[in-house]
């Protein structure tokens, strides 16, 4: 039996932005610099799962999220939805795609029109894709408010009358109004107080199960990502360096950068607590990508080949892939032999 087609597949995607001083450099005859935000990203997202995307600031998470909802056009590679290249959709398919895949933004303050009531905001969202006949809209608004656990009288109030967490619930209700199948949540809760973050994330978890949503959850906070994700993709300098089931990644990272990222978040698991700074050195500039492994300049296990040859993302056991020239990195047998060498 052949494997089911992933709902979304990202295949060798590149995205570059004009670098700093582009105009000045052109005027003075110098070649323009490009920021290599995505550099051959490949991953797939399966229907009904939550895929977490983690990695330090500037590694391309938001750029990838924006490419997934067609806010950005990749410069190379393809993104396929149900096997179809989203850059080549017919207008009617494109409209359907725009409804089926919704993004929820980090900042609920700026993404809600302050002059519209919640009812108007949701009515507008329902109108864009003609989701309901006019007379059914009030009932649908009640349903949406129930879904995000807001009181029904919220409909007649303005965004500024709500707390940050409640505003993010309004943002979720607006995304759900068009009955999407995929939610791309970029730093959904990072602007909220820690005490409110868990409530909003748990709401998303419940909605995901209730509505069989597929969720792409981009976040800095590894604790939240672990809590919510079935699988996690770890990005570094515009590339996916590991993609693994969540628990497997957090217990036995198979890429030195994944390990460094987890070691730098000691609150995750007190047993792993370490005082050492996990990834030494500076993050290379996305203006000048190194020729070999992107993590070579900071990797504690670096060797010659890493500086010249970029490792491909290859299988590391069931459902796991990592891009490292050390195929045994993090494998149980390798950990045991490391322990023997230390003792």
Ligand X SMILES: Nc1ncnc2c1ncn2[C@@H]1O[C@H](COP(=O)(O)OP(=O)(O)OP(=O)(O)O)[C@@H](O)[C@H]1O
Q: Which residues of this chain interact with ligand X, rule CB under 6 A?
A: 17, 35, 37, 55, 57-63, 220, 286
Residue 17 binds which entry of ligand X, Mg ion, none, CB below 5-8 Å type-dependent: ligand X
Is residue 255 classed as helix, strand or coil in its secondary structure? coil
- In angstroms, the CA 24 to CA 300 distance is 39
State in angstroms the smallest separation of the CB of 10 from Mg ion: 17
Residue 106 interacting with Mg ion (CB under 5 A): no
Residue 122 binds which entry of Mg ion, ligand X, none, CB below 5-8 Å type-dependent: none
Q: Which of residues 46-75 bind Mg ion (CB under 5 A)?
A: 61-62
* Exposure string over 195-222, b if 16+ CB within 10 A, otherwise e: ebbeebbebbeebbeeeebbbbbbbebb
Residue 57 binds which entry of Mg ion, ligand X, none, CB below 5-8 Å type-dependent: ligand X
State in angstroms the smallest separation of the CB of 239 from ligand X: 12
State in angstroms the smallest separation of the CB of 226 from Mg ion: 19
- Identity of the residue, 45 or 188, whose beta carbon is nearer to Mg ion in the bound complex: 188
- In angstroms, the CA 98 to CA 341 distance is 55
- Identity of the residue, 56 or 143, whose beta carbon is nearer to ligand X in the bound complex: 56
State in angstroms the smallest separation of the CB of 62 from Mg ion: 3
- In angstroms, the CA 224 to CA 197 distance is 9
- Identity of the residue, 48 or 284, whose beta carbon is nearer to ligand X in the bound complex: 284
Is residue 92 classed as helix, strand or coil in its secondary structure? helix
Cα 311 from chain centroid? 22
Site size with Mg ion, rule: CB under 5 A: 2
Total count of residues recorded for the chain: 343
- Identity of the residue, 34 or 137, whose beta carbon is nearer to ligand X in the bound complex: 34
State in angstroms the smallest separation of the CB of 61 from Mg ion: 5
Residue 63 binds which entry of ligand X, Mg ion, none, CB below 5-8 Å type-dependent: ligand X
- Identity of the residue, 52 or 55, whose beta carbon is nearer to ligand X in the bound complex: 55
DSSP string, 81-123: ETTEEGGG--HHHHHHHHHHEEEE-S-HHHHS-TTS-HHHHHH
State in angstroms the smallest separation of the CB of 100 from Mg ion: 23
- In angstroms, the CA 57 to CA 23 distance is 26
* Beta carbons of 80 and 19 less than 8 angstroms apart: no
- Identity of the residue, 57 or 195, whose beta carbon is nearer to ligand X in the bound complex: 57
* Beta carbons of 313 and 39 less than 8 angstroms apart: no
Q: If 0-12 CB within 10 Å is exposed, 13-18 middle and 19+ buried, where does residue 75 land?
A: middle
Binding residues for Mg ion, rule: CB under 5 A, are: 61-62
């Amino acid at each position: 039996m052949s494997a089911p087609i992933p709902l979304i597949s990202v295949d060798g995607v590149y995205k570059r932005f004009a670098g700093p001083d582009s105009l000045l450099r052109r005027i003075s005859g110098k070649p323009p610099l490009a920021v290599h935000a995505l550099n051959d990203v490949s991953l797939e997202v399966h229907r009904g799962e939550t895929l977490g995307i983690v990695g330090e600031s500037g590694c391309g998470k938001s750029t990838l999220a924006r490419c997934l909802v067609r806010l950005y056009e990749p410069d190379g590679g393809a993104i396929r939805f149900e096997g179809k290249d989203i850059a080549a959709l017919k207008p009617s398919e494109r409209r359907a795609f725009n409804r089926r895949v919704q993004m929820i933004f980090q900042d609920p303050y700026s993404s809600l029109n302050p002059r519209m009531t919640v009812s108007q905001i949701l009515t507008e969202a329902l109108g864009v894709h003609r989701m309901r006949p006019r007379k059914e809209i009030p009932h649908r608004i009640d349903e949406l408010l129930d879904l995000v656990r807001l009181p029904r009288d919220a409909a007649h109030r303005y965004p500024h009358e709500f707390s940050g967490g409640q505003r993010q619930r309004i943002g979720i209700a607006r995304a759900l109004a068009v009955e999407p199948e995929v939610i791309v949540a970029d730093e959904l809760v990072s602007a909220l107080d820690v005490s409110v973050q868990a409530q909003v994330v748990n709401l998303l978890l419940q909605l995901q199960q209730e509505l069989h949503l597929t969720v792409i959850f981009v976040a800095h906070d590894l604790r939240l990502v672990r809590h919510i994700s079935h699988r996690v993709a770890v990005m570094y300098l515009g590339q996916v360096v590991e993609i693994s089931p969540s628990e497997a990644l957090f217990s036995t990272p198979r890429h030195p950068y994944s390990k460094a990222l987890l070691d730098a978040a000691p609150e995750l698991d007190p047993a792993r607590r370490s005082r050492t700074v996990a990834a030494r050195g500076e993050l290379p500039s996305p203006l000048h990508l190194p020729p070999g492994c992107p993590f070579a300049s900071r990797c504690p296990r670096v060797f010659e080949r890493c500086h010249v040859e970029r490792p491909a993302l290859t299988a590391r056991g069931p459902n796991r892939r990592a891009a490292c020239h050390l195929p045994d990195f993090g494998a149980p047998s390798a950990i045991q032999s490391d322990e023997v060498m230390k003792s």
